[in-house]
Chain A
Amino acid sequence: MSVNTAHSSVAPRRSRLPGWLRSVLRLRESPLGVVGAFLVGFWVVVAVFAPWISSYDPNDNDFDAGIIAPPSAEHWLGTDDQARDTLSRIIWGSRVVLVISPLATLCAYIVGCVMGLLAGYYRGWVDTVLMQVCNVILSFPVLVLYVIIVMKFGPSPLNIVVAVTFVASPQVARLVRSQTLELREREYVAAAKMRGEPAWYIMLVEILPNARGPLIVDSCLRMGYTAITIGILGFLGLGLRPPDPDWGGMINATYGYVMGGQVLMSLAPAIALSSLVVGLSLLADGLREISLRD
């Protein structure tokens, strides 16, 4: 009789919003996270609406305005050495970064999660082999690896994705493995084994969703790193083929003028790149902060 009322007081449900949306809204509890989300959101909007925002075609040469023109009412950030509108090139260039870096991060995560789950769940020789492979990859200087891969296969968005996946997936695998090693000892995993769930099910349904906290934070940071990587490759001439705009390539093409005092056309893409990376880092910090509050 009295047992029946053991559950009489229960936490009232707060809202009917789905869980993921509530988590996103909780981000406002972290001021840094809000700043980060704003910066990232800004660039996402710019990339999506590039054709409508930009007033010029990024590859058009406006010789009326002249090369390396200072900012004016027509060209807010001036023009570059080929008389192209710097602002429009930055706007279009954001598309490159915001497509390639999430895509590359996603690929790195798919490969890394599979490796990390297998290593952490089965341990033993599977773990040894996979982790040694990771160690070998991790022991190379990252930049050298990127350059070798992209030079070998030629600069293209696909090859950049392949290179990032190759370099970043061992790092993801290490993170996933450490989470898996901890989570595999949980009692709900034992319960799943006892009802006869197959190993893939336990890894993907019982373990992986509970590792999502650190993985989401890491993926934000990693997208930032990838954006920097794309910038570096562009700067080294391993980005998109000219004349298509890409922030790293823009800096590369114009940094020679900096000594002459014409800084804007290389400074502007640099600021664009760093604002996106800082935004992603702050977003990661914010996500970490709210996840620690639980």
Chain B
Amino acid sequence: MAEADKTGAPVLELDNARISYFTRAGEINVIPGVSFKLARGEAIGLVGESGCGKSTVAFSIVRYLGGAGRLTGGRILFEGRDMAKMPEPELRRLRGRRLAMVYQDPMSSLNPVIPVGKQLMEVPIVHQGAGEADARRRALQMLAEVKLPDAESIFDRYPHQLSGGQQQRVVIAMALMAEPSLLIMDEPTTGLDVTVEAAVLDLVRDLRRKHNSALVFISHNLGTVVRVCDRIGVMYAGDLVEEGPIASVFRNPRHPYTRGLLECLPVLGTDKHTSPLVPIPGQVPPALHRPPGCIFASRCKHAEPARCTTARIETITILGEAAHRVQCVRALELPPWQRPQAAAPATAADERDADLVLDIDGLRKFYETSTSIFSGAESYEIKALNDVSMSARRGMTLAVVGESGCGKSTLAKVLTGLEKATGGKVALDGSDIGGIRVEDRESQIKSKLQMVFQNPDSTLNPSHSVGFAIERSLRRLKNLTGAAMHEQARHLMETVKLPADFVDRKPRQLSGGQKQRVAIARALAGDPDVVVADEPVSALDVSVQAAIINLLLELQSTRAATMLFISHDLSVVRYLADRVAVMYLGKIVEFGSVEEVFNPPYHPYTEALLSAVPIADPDRQQKRILLEGAMPSPRDVPKGCPFATRCPRKLGEICDTTPPLEHRTNSGHRIACHIPMEQLRSIDPIISTAAE
């Protein structure tokens, strides 16, 4: 092993590794042949949409494919040794010592009944035979290294007493305990909030350099890969279609799929007026029916039947670009890539003339927990929405952004009447609906405000056909019956660009994107004035996400409906919104047009959010602002500014004691902060393009 490090031999080498799963239906070849090398201390990011084989490749490295999966060809060499031939006891010694894995859900890696410190100590005790005291010292040192505050107190806590971000740090600490030469991370930040994600990503990047560990980093988010890795590997349907250094792949992606991925991804700084999103048509084909040639050919706009679909595509190395490899016959013929530009940038419609459709004023929603007779716990109030005001005019998109727990979903529930407001006003076309539950709303009001939900798997009733949901809405909201109802349902399916025959299908026969289209059709059935969309694209793959965003925008402009778009994804919000409200702990900290919010003057929280967004473009420079700690519990909201406990620009005591007044500009831009407006104005933009 020691010589291998010195000679610079790769830590990991996949040589045409072929992986199959064996099921009752026979062998399913999911990975036909993947090759890449990883030198000591190098980091490769594997990206691709779900079901593309990223995790299968990662698990095959540690030979952890379960009973059904097997390496059926090629070789996987770890530190020069063939993993397939290694006997089980030796493999076990290797795992956790030379090789470590970090998974998406930290709770599944931590034992809930053992304090985290004890779990960390096990690593040196089991793998290196260290003594109790020595193990404890090293565990504490490692906890400090992953930047957990007060390592001593974290040491004795149980996993459930830590936040998600802290748990993931403990798992990373555990993985790095044994100084592994290879670290495999499978979507380590997917469940985390954007500010926490940024901190964890920076930590991973710094630590892997410090410990000189090689890293295989799996993510569906291209932006996170740019932050952490040196190289990127793009996977599609089990093939590594393009692989190379980050800079060269992003500047000129050679494979049409890589290009497609970048074209359907909103990058912070682009919006609907300047650069349209281009979705990739079709969907990933099932592994069972692998065509003889390029598996992307059926979705590729550059495909040439004669050359692309006849034989297996060889991987070629791009000359002049070190280690940039592409699996495409036409890679060298394609013109250099450019981000798609709108032919003539559309200008934002003048919204001042449009009438006010939705006017929210001083909205409050407090949840009161009941006093328990048995435990004697006192009841307390959770201020989920605390004095929220915003308004939207006809035909525009109002976006609400914030991290989980900021109250954005509660806002959706109150607007839709699924929850009742505690106070304040919600005016929909002039009539107050805030305090009225949906059961008590008039049918006319119900049809005016409809909702698109987040989870495509739960938005449609699995027991009924797709058409059922739409037809019931038409019956209840439009009083349509019989043939007119069927006709209108089919028409709505076509409106959302699904074949009308789909009305007879069951939801399980549809893909996630198709289900979300049906959900949109259902929301449109009542001809709504306002559509509340609560994270409608966050559960979808990027290419599908782009198509749904385009559909929402198109329907909104043709129907002049107002959309309240709730999201945690600032890139998407920047892309499609006209106005933006930034929420933190139940309060709106900044509100204004999308230009105003995404450019200085910023609220310090907006600034921190923007600095945390992973951007899939290595040319864009981003200032880093690391937030300390986690969002306080909505049980005890700080007395002054809600953001005061984490604010990097905190002025002093005034922030803790006095709620800030809002700075208001003539254009309607509001920032709730004690820092004077002049000073906020002088802050440099967070994001700059290197070319500018």
Contact = CB atoms under 8 A, between A and B. Distances in A.
Interface of A: 2-11, 186-188, 190-197, 205-206, 209-210, 212
Contact of B458 (A2, A3, A187, A194): A187
A196 B418 CA distance: 11
Given A194-B416, A196-B438, A3 B477 contact: no
A145 B26 CA distance: 54
A257 B498 CA distance: 74
Contacts of B460: 188
A206 B441 CA distance: 21
A122 B668 CA distance: 43
Given A194-B416, A194-B418, 16 more contacts: A3-B547, A6-B497, A6-B544, A7-B499, A9-B298, A187-B454, A187-B458, A188-B458, A188-B461, A188-B469, A190-B451, A190-B453, A191-B451, A196-B443, A209-B464, A212-B463
Interface residues of B, number: 49
Given A3-B551, A9-B283, A190-B453, A196 B461 contact: no
B255 interface: no
Given A3-B551, A5-B282, A191 B544 contact: no
For the complex of A and B, 8 pairs with smallest distance between CB atoms = A209-B463, A187-B453, A5-B281, A188-B461, A195-B476, A2-B281, A187-B459, A187-B458
A187 to B, nearest CB: 4
Interface of B: 278-283, 285, 298, 416-418, 438-439, 441, 443, 446, 450-451, 453-455, 458-464, 469, 472-473, 476-477, 497-499, 502, 509, 511, 513-514, 519, 522, 525-526, 544, 547, 550-551
Contacts of B502: 7
A194 B446 contact: yes
Given A3-B550, A7-B514, A11-B509, A194 B497 contact: no
Contacts of B298: 9
A9 B509 CA distance: 11
Contacts of A188: 458-461, 469
A7 B551 CA distance: 14
Task: Name A's interface SS.
Answer: helix
A194 B451 contact: yes
A123 to B, nearest CB: 12
Given A2-B281, A195-B476, A190 B418 contact: yes
A31 to B, nearest CB: 13
A195 B282 contact: no
B438 A187 contact: no
A209 to B, nearest CB: 4
B547 A193 contact: no
A197 B441 CA distance: 12
B433 to A, nearest CB: 12
A142 to B, nearest CB: 29
B443 to A, nearest CB: 6
A3 B282 CA distance: 9
A170 B149 CA distance: 51
A191 B453 contact: yes
A2 B418 contact: no
Given A7-B498, A7-B514, A9-B283, A191 B469 contact: yes
Nearest to B280: A2
Contact of A195 (B473, B509, B513, B547): B473
18 contacts: A2-B278, A2-B279, A3-B550, A6-B282, A6-B283, A6-B514, A8-B281, A9-B283, A187-B458, A190-B418, A190-B451, A191-B451, A193-B418, A195-B472, A195-B476, A195-B477, A209-B464, A210-B463
A14 B463 CA distance: 19
